[in-house]
Amino acid sequence: MVGEIISVGTELLLGNIVNTNAAYLAEQCAALGVSCYYQTCVGDNEERLTETLKTAFKRSDVVILTGGLGPTQDDLTKEVVAKLMQLKLVEDSKAKEMLISYFEKRGIEITDNNWKQALVPEQSIVMYNDNGTAPGIIAEKGKKTAILLPGPPGEMKPMFEKYVVDYFKQRNPFVISSVTVKLCGIGESKVESEIKDLIDKQDNPTIATYAKTGEVHLRVTAKAENEKEALKLIRPVVKKLKTRFGEKVFTTEESVTLEQAFVDLLLANNLTVCTVESCTGGLVSARLINVPGVSEVYKFGHVTYSNKAKRKIVGVKKSTLEKYTAVSEQVALQMVKGAGVFSKADVAISVTGIAGPEGGTEDIPVGTVFIACDVKGNTRVEKFQFKGNRTKIRENAVAAALTLSRKCVLEYITQVSFGNKKDK
212 contacts: CB under 8 Å, gap ≥ 6: none
- The pLDDT of residue 176 is above 90: no
Dmax (CA) for the chain in angstroms is 85
Characterize 375-406 residue by residue with b for buried, 16 or more Cβ atoms within 10 angstroms of its Cβ, and e for exposed: beeebbbbebebeeeeeebbbbbbbbbbbbbb
Q: Are 168 and 32 spatial neighbours (Cβ–Cβ below 8 Å)?
A: yes
Q: Give 104's pLDDT tier (boundaries 50, 70, 90).
A: very high
pLDDT at 367 over 60: yes
State the pLDDT confidence band at 319, using cuts at 50, 70 and 90: very high
Q: Alpha-carbon distance 176 to 206, whole Å?
A: 11
Give the pLDDT score at 177.
Answer: 87
What mean pLDDT comes out for the span 48-69? 97
Summarised one tens digit per residue, pLDDT across range 4-46 is 999 999 999 999 999 999 999 998 998 888 889 999 999 999 9
Residue 103 near residue 109, CB atoms below 8 Å: yes
Confidence at 422, pLDDT banded by 50, 70, 90: low
Provide the percentage of residues in the chain whose pLDDT is more than 90.
90
**Contact in structure between 224 and 177 (CB atoms under 8 Å):** yes
The pLDDT, as a whole number, for residue 318 is 97
Query: Which distant-in-sequence residues (6+ apart) come within 8 Å of 308 by Cβ?
Result: none
pLDDT digits (tens, 9 = 90+) for 191-231: 999 999 999 988 999 999 999 999 999 999 998 988 899 99
Instruction: Give residue-wise pLDDT tens across range 372-416.
Output: 999 999 999 999 999 999 999 999 999 999 999 999 999 999 998
pLDDT bucket at 169, cuts 50 / 70 / 90: confident
Closest C-alpha to 203, from 237, 169, 174: 237
Backbone angles phi, psi at 359, to 5 degrees: 105, -10
Closest residue by Cα to residue 272 from 415, 409, 400, 398? 409
CB–CB of 313/276 below 8 Å?
yes
pLDDT at residue 294, as a whole number = 97
State the average pLDDT for the chain. Answer: 95
- Indicate if the pLDDT at residue 420 is higher than 70: no
Residue 106 phi/psi, 5-degree rounding, is -100, 0
The pLDDT score that the predictor gives to residue 87 is: 96
At 417, the pLDDT band (50, 70, 90 cuts) reads confident
Local confidence band at 419 (pLDDT 50, 70, 90 cut-offs) = low
Averaged pLDDT, 332-356: 96
pTM above 0.75, yes or no: yes
Predicted local distance difference test score (pLDDT) of residue 166: 93
Task: State residue 227's pLDDT score.
Answer: 86
Q: What angle do CA 118, 124, 126 make, to 5 degrees?
A: 50
**Percentage above 70 pLDDT, the chain:** 99
